Structure 1
Amino acid sequence: MITIRQEEEKDYQQVFQLTEEAFREMEHSDHQEHFLVEKLRDSEAFIPELSLVAEDENGNIAGHILFTKLKIVNGSESFESLALAPVSVKPEFQNQGIGGQLIREGHDIAGKLGYQSVILIGHEKYYPKFGYEKTSNFGISFPFDIPEENGMAIELVPDGLKNRKGIVKYPKEFGID
């Protein structure tokens, strides 16, 4: 039995360790995700309601997801969206649907908070299960080269990305210029 709830300060150390463990063996990782979570918590991009943990019946944190603010910039115009990064599940809890529960709950909360879309870089076979499509379908690109199928977006509301073409601008904490 897994419960999804908002992360609290008392969870920070467990989340740090869990995130490091979750990405330790990942091939396409810089192995800095646990530090990124810490930096984002202290940033203007942080939304406390969108830092979620998955807790088992014994109070152990099995997973964590973080959605933070980002912008889509098109010339002098910019539009707010969300970045999904990272989603972490402890290795012994992986492949049990916990990541999916975190994603769906995060989408639900983000929509209730008024956010219209989410952008991510992720596995092309995993995220489409949750409704993600290539960002190129929306006319959105990244400020660096990635395989087209790994840049994805989802509209949390109908037409949430309509006429929102542009380049993704990450918060400075991501270390991307």
Structure 2
Amino acid sequence: MRTRNNWITRAETGADIPTIRDINLAAFETQLEADLVDALRVDSSWIDGLSIVSADEDGKLIGHALLTRCHIDDTPALCLAPVAVWPEYQKSGAGSAAIRAALTEARDRGEYYVTVLGHPTYYPRFGFTRASTHGIGLTIDVPDEAMMALTLDQAHPLPSGTVRYAAPFGI
């Protein structure tokens, strides 16, 4: 494991696409997440500039975090998924750096809400809390503690409602 505190983060470029796919293929047991990123990239939910990579000082891509459009009922929100890091760099901070950069970019663009379906011990470090405490749910059964939400602006409390993901998620 390699740890760092100063990962370089930036929006993906066209040249990054094959490596992002390779990172997702390596980070997950199946190709579903890699295929999801490819499908989202051509979906109307895609937002240029919110697919963020983390790289080392030599420019080697290490991690990736993706935010795409979703809705909480009719309120626009973002979905954080997937987040992937080369296995040998997991727990190095590369994923956290990409997530923080993505959330900062979303906030700077005037976005307010982000949802994530993920590990309940990992995502709270970024400010995510259990979505059900805000009256936010899904149309499918998932562990309650795994569905989380975040407001990027405390002046805009999370709305309640059902999360509607982009079509490629199949939810």
TM-score by length of 2: 0.93
Listed as ranges, the matches of 1:21-170 within 5 Å are 21-24=26-29, 31-73=31-73, 78-162=74-158, 164-170=159-165
1:81-132: CA deviation from partner (whole Å, max 9, x where unpaired): 0000001010111111111111111111100111101001000111111111
Structure that is richer in strand per residue: 1
SS at match of 1:161: coil
Unaligned runs of 5+ in 2: 1-5
Fraction of identical pairs, as percent: 36
Instruction: Tell me how far apart the structure 2 counterparts of residues 60 and 6 of structure 1 sit (CA, whole Å).
Output: 14
Task: Give the aligned partner of residue 27 of structure 1.
Answer: none
- 1:159 Cα deviation after fit: 4.2
When structure 1 is superposed on structure 2, of 50-59 and 110-119 the one drifting more is 50-59
TM-score by length of 1: 0.90
Q: How many residues align?
A: 166
Q: Following superposition, which runs of at least 4 residues in structure 1 exceed 2 angstroms of deviation? A: 159-162
SS at match of 2:101: helix
Task: Give the aligned partner of residue 7 of structure 2.
Answer: 2
Instruction: Tell me how far apart the structure 2 counterparts of residues 55 and 103 of structure 1 sit (CA, whole Å).
Output: 13
Given residue 9 of structure 1, which amino acid in structure 2 is its aligned partner?
A: G
SS at match of 1:66: strand
